Structure 1
Amino acid sequence: MQIIAAFRQWWRVQSCRSRLGALDRAAMVQLARDNAIPEADLRQLIIRSNADSVLLPRLLDRLGVAPEQLARRQAAVLRDIAIVCAGCAMTAECRRDLSQQDVPLRHGRYCPNTETIKALRLSSRPTA
């Protein structure tokens, strides 16, 4: 079953990429503007591989920041860290780090979102 689910997800991603790739320049500019994202960042998000797009939610979960809550409460912050993540060249290191469940994360050594995630963790702690 996991293979079928993975294939369906891959197919959805490819379909979205194909539709976005078919947009003319004006439509792409408008889509970027509507989402408050620079066009270059939107293109970076589009070309990002599906395997890499799951890294940020996994990292946030592992660090105790619920991506769903972040999307509801601070959508702009989530959008910004997703854009930074999409441009990151350290995806192999991140994937390797996240795959080691019993080892402390080393994301602070390479993740460009480290400081933002630290701030999110601090702001989500209950106050006494």
Structure 2
Amino acid sequence: MTLTIADPVRHTVQHILSWFAQGFEHATESDMLAGLSDAEVEALAEDCGISAHQLLALVKAGPHAADEMPAIMRALNIDPAEVEYRMRRVFRDMQITCAQCLSKETCRNHLQQGKADRTFVEYCANADTLNALRANPDLLIEA
């Protein structure tokens, strides 16, 4: 017997399952970090090249807190993979900044509307770095 589910229902169910999965993933990361001693958190943060405070803030922000960063890079014709490969520390610092951003709704809306490449300097804390990156031809997406 085959069960047929209407597309709107399927989409809603998939969205709900995704939401639960993200919540579980976030809870698991938070629980794992909460189980570590202060010294272990410090050591882990040091291994990541960030402070313990930054590590805790990133875990609290969740695993997708910097998803907008590669999207805005692509909107600016910057190759995120190339930046990550050539400038790992800069890429990581940009992720931290993006994860802690308070302008996510504006960023997402402008990305969706296709105008982020013209407006990002108004709200993006990574604007100066993004402008510097797009001035480097080695980091641009090849057309």
Q: Give TM-score, length-normalised by structure 2.
A: 0.73
1:9 to partner: Cα distance = 5.8
Paired letter, 2:83:
L
**Aligned pairs, number:** 125
Counterpart for residue 129 of structure 2: 116
Counterpart for residue 80 of structure 1: 93
Q: Structure 1 38/72 Cα, relative in aligned 2: closer, same or farther at 3 Å?
A: same
1:32 to partner: Cα distance = 0.7
Q: Structure 1 71/91 Cα, relative in aligned 2: closer, same or farther at 3 Å?
A: same
Unpaired segments of 5 or more residues in structure 2? 1-9
Of the three residues 66, 70, 91, the one matched with 1:57 is 70
Distance (Å, rounded) in 1 between the aligned partners of 2:82 and 2:59: 23
- On the 8 A contact 2:66/2:96 being kept in 1, the answer is no
Q: Which has the larger radius of gyration?
A: 2
Paired letter, 1:36:
G
Counterpart for residue 6 of structure 1: 18
Distance (Å, rounded) in 2 between the aligned partners of 1:21 and 1:114: 33
- On the 8 A contact 1:52/1:91 being kept in 2, the answer is no
Paired letter, 1:24:
S
1:21 to partner: Cα distance = 3.0
1:60 to partner: Cα distance = 1.1
- On the 8 A contact 2:107/2:116 being kept in 1, the answer is no
Q: Deviations over 1:10-59 (max 9, x none)?
A: 14444333322322211111011111101111112111145533111111
Counterpart for residue 99 of structure 1: 112
- On the 8 A contact 2:120/2:127 being kept in 1, the answer is yes
1:104 to partner: Cα distance = 5.1
- On the 8 A contact 1:107/1:114 being kept in 2, the answer is yes
- On the 8 A contact 2:75/2:116 being kept in 1, the answer is no
Q: Give TM-score, length-normalised by structure 1.
A: 0.81
- On the 8 A contact 2:98/2:126 being kept in 1, the answer is yes
Distance (Å, rounded) in 2 between the aligned partners of 1:78 and 1:9: 26
